[in-house]
Structure 1
Amino acid sequence: MSDTIARTMWERFEPVHQLVYFAPEVRETADGLGMRGYWMGYFALRAAPLGPAPAAVVTGCFHVFHPDRVARALPDAWQLASPQQVLQARERAVDAAMTSLYGPDVVASADLAEAADLAWRAALAADTAGRVLSAANQALPRPAQPHVRLWQAVTTLREHRGDGHVAVLVSRRLGPVAAMVLKSAAGETDAEFQRRTRQWGSGPWRAAQEELGERGWLDAQGRLTAAGAAAREQIEADTDAAAAAPWTALGPDATARLARLLEPLARTVLDSGIVPDANPVGLTDGTWGPPGRPGAADRSPVRVTRDE
């Protein structure tokens, strides 16, 4: 199966996964556990499948965060709620967020249940050797509610892709800051948003720019050179190739069916305004055309600030 299928599927499932970072219901649930600020909730909710992992382990798995950013949240979060309690709360939050955004008729629909079962099959087929975050998510029990099951399946697939991407970056000797500089220079996300939210200072950012300049990947103005654009394109191609196994296992017909079922769900997330334009994964409306879901402005997305 073509590696481009892996990218197509990522574009369909990533917006559904992103609800856990930006839906107000998720922030409310994290606050209810006693998590102090957005970032403690973020690290606890995402890292909970690993068990009570210390900050150093989570920093290594997540790749792009300054160690101090993680250490402000972990292991303190595990004193407020155990990983098992966090996982249970995560399911409740996803249930509430998806029901609020999609409506009860959609979450109870046959199409969503079909999508959940197809995505679960793909997630179980993900090759997780050497992929810690995806393996931890893959090992979680199958949720009873189809919409929560769909979210957990696409989260396993998302972390599977992310683990593979980190491996590609490491193979090219691209550290956390250099990887973000390259992504930002490619126009896929906002540099200041990346630097600030991942809590890297201007010094490491300049050093990474200089490093990429010495490689010939950035020019004096910090823009991608032809060599840098080619390197970035190859990194993405290798990431797609590393993410292809679940779709090969699912097969072309079932994969195409899942893509069709996911498309309106992804479109609804993007139209809602929940995911900010400057989001760190570079997720945009570009693939999907102009937004326009009625009532999208009625929901208030979570805002990520420097000090939380």
Structure 2
Amino acid sequence: MKSLWVSMETIHDVTYFAPEARAAHEAVGLRGFWRGYVAMRAAPMGAAPLGLVSAVFYNFSPGFLARSLPEVWSIASPSAALEARLSGAVAVLGSFEVPVLGTLRSLVSAVGWAGRPLGAANAALPWPSDPVGALWHACTVLREHRGDGHNAVLAAEGIDGVEAHALRDAADGSRAMVQRARGWTDEEWDAGVSRLVARGLIASGALTASGVALRSHIEARTDALGAVPYVSIPLGDLETLESFLRPIARRLVPSVIPYPNPVGAPAP
């Protein structure tokens, strides 16, 4: 159910875009958008070094990440970053009853974590006692599960981080937005494009038929891998979950989360 993933992605994304989330990470010393982003997203793995974070933040430039790592861990401990990201997410989402927590817990329990490092690190965290915090936590765990699978598919197809963005740009012209947000230099980006041209995936700045087929395959395979835990949940429960999450996600876009945005998720 791709629309369910889109709602979960949107709810997770408040931690990057909401002023309340920015204030929470600045309160623990993580000033500047990217310090907060890197610390809060990497914190489930502990004080992770640059190499590990670069591996799981697959489509970010390692040189870009090096501006924050390992310095961020001397500013805020992983535990402080985790507390900040949760409090910021709850601050923007608000307070309400979450009758679908049972379904979300079942989904998280149904996931197999082999080869899913960032998702597994989030899943190992304790569930928040606050119901809205638990909602955000579940969406985050399932979001990172899907993201880990996407990275695995890219790697299996021999597409590195910058090449993934270049493929997307050849389809939708997103370079101006994405390149800056992921920290790739012009030289790195253009070299990635050249590699894709050599593979026959891009020609004259556009996707070739092979490029279109590869992108479609990557997205379809990502969806298939991400859907595995959902097959164990009754369809009616999934429909109820989607009906609950979609209005929450829709009120966040574009008032809190801009659209389009570098994450690349469709609007809910």
User: Which band: TM-score by shorter chain?
Assistant: over 0.9
**Paired AA for residue 200 in structure 1:** W
C-alpha contact (below 8 Å) 1:117/1:150 kept by paired residues: no
For residue 277 of structure 1, the aligned residue among 225, 234, 259 is: 259
Residue-by-residue CA offset, 1:107-155 (whole Å, 9 max, x unaligned): 323xxx1233322221222211011000000011011111110100010
C-alpha offsets along residues 65-108 of structure 1, whole Å, 9 cap, x if unaligned? 11122111122111122111211122211111111xxxxxxx32
Q: Are 2:174 and 1:190 equivalent residues in the alignment?
A: yes
Residue 164 of structure 2 aligns with which residue?
179
1:124 corresponds in structure 2 to: 109
Instruction: State the AA in 2 paired with 1:206.
Output: D
Alignment of 1:223-238 (within 5 A): 223-238=206-221
Query: Which runs of structure 2 are paired with 1:195-206 in the superposition (5 Å)?
Result: 195-206=179-190
Q: Does 1:251 align with 2:234?
A: yes
* Contact 2:47–2:73 under 8 Å retained in 1: yes
| Structure 2 equivalent of residue 103 of structure 1 | none
In the TM superposition, residue 271 of structure 1 has moved relative to its aligned partner by 4.1
Distance 2:169 2:248 in 1: 27
**Cα distance in 1 for residues equivalent to 2:249 and 2:47:** 32
Code of the aligned partner of 1:186: A
Distance in 1 (CA, whole Å) between partners of 2:176 and 2:142 is 28
- For the 8 Å contact 2:47–2:77, the answer to whether it is kept is yes
What is the one-letter code of the residue matched to 1:197?
Answer: A
* Contact kept in structure 1, 2:6 and 2:266, CA below 8 Å: no
- From 71, 80, 86, give the equivalent of 2:81: 86
Instruction: Indicate yes or no: 2:121 matched with 1:139.
Output: no
Q: Which amino acid aligns with 1:280?
A: P
* Structure 1 residue 9, shift from structure 2 partner: 1.9
Task: Select the residue among 76, 96, 99 that pairs with 1:108.
Answer: 96
**TM-score normalised by length of structure 2:** 0.95
Tell me if 1:45 matches 2:29. Answer: no
Q: Say whether the 8 Å CA contact 1:59–1:65 is kept in structure 2.
A: yes
Q: Name the counterpart of 1:65.
A: 60
* 1:190–1:278 Cα contact (<8 Å) kept: no
24, 31, 34: which one aligns with 1:36: 31
Q: Show structure 2 runs of 5+ residues with no match.
A: none
Aligned mate of 1:13, from 8, 15, 28: 8
State the shift of 1:34 in Å.
0.8
Give the counterpart letter for 1:128 in structure 2. Answer: W
Once the 2 structures are TM-superposed, how far is the Cα of residue 212 of structure 1 from its aligned partner? 1.4
| Alpha-carbon contact 1:55-1:70 (below 8 Å) kept | yes
**Where do 5+ consecutive residues of structure 1 fail to align?**
100-106, 289-308
